[in-house]
Amino acid sequence: MDSSNRWPSTFDVRPGRPLPEADVSRRQSKRATPIASSSEVRRRMQAVRRVGTDCELMLRTVLRRRRLSFATDWPIPGTRRRADLVFRKARVAVFIDGCFWHACPRHASWPKQNASWWRQKILGNVARDRDTDRYLRRIGWKVVRVWEHTSPNAAAARIVRHLSAVANAPSNHRAAHPR
């Protein structure tokens, strides 16, 4: 799926470093992980996937309880990437990053089997996350990244703080980034 990695020409991609394959951390495409052959790795991936999904669903519930409306799995304009939750009016994008797939400083773990493949895969995800952050900021969005280990209430509180910061920002912000 080469087209999934196409970016606008203004996008900063370091030469000699191709963007990684489809984002298995979000899309969970089975064919993107052909090397997950050992049962240990497979078990780990399944556990991680379940926790990540639960975390996102719980966060959505908490946010809805606070009467906040947002879009989910939102295609980022001009890219083939997606944001987990977005508040379009406030231009705040939220990503729930899996501890394994995005190398959380507390819980990152590096499979021993096919170690270099995994390392490249995970570091590729991290590099792409930073690319995505820069891209969104450049087009006038705020980015909030939440680790999957964060409690839904703490994550919601952080998001609400960002939303109120945007709401209280001087109105010339909007003129700079017309919708």
Q: Rule CB under 5 A: which residues touch Zn ion?
A: 99, 104, 106-107, 147, 149
In our burial notation (b when 16+ CB lie closer than 10 A, e otherwise), range 25-62 reads bbebeeebbeebeeeebeeebeebbebbeebbebbbeb
User: Please, which residue, 90 or 129, has the CB nearer to Zn ion?
Assistant: 129
User: Please, which residue, 95 or 147, has the CB nearer to Zn ion?
Assistant: 147
- CB 1, min distance to Zn ion, A: 28
User: Please, which residue, 80 or 145, has the CB nearer to Zn ion?
Assistant: 145
- CB 50, min distance to Zn ion, A: 15
User: Please, which residue, 108 or 169, has the CB nearer to Zn ion?
Assistant: 108
Q: How far is CA 12 from the centre of its chain?
A: 18
User: Please, which residue, 71 or 157, has the CB nearer to Zn ion?
Assistant: 157
- CB 96, min distance to Zn ion, A: 11
- CB 55, min distance to Zn ion, A: 10
In angstroms, the CA 85 to CA 61 distance is 12
Torsion sign across C-alpha atoms 11, 15, 20, 21: positive
- CB 155, min distance to Zn ion, A: 12
Task: State the residue for tokens 């089997």.
Answer: 113
In angstroms, the CA 123 to CA 102 distance is 8
Task: For the beta carbon of residue 165, count every other beta carbon within 10 angstroms.
Answer: 12
Torsion sign across C-alpha atoms 47, 53, 56, 60: negative
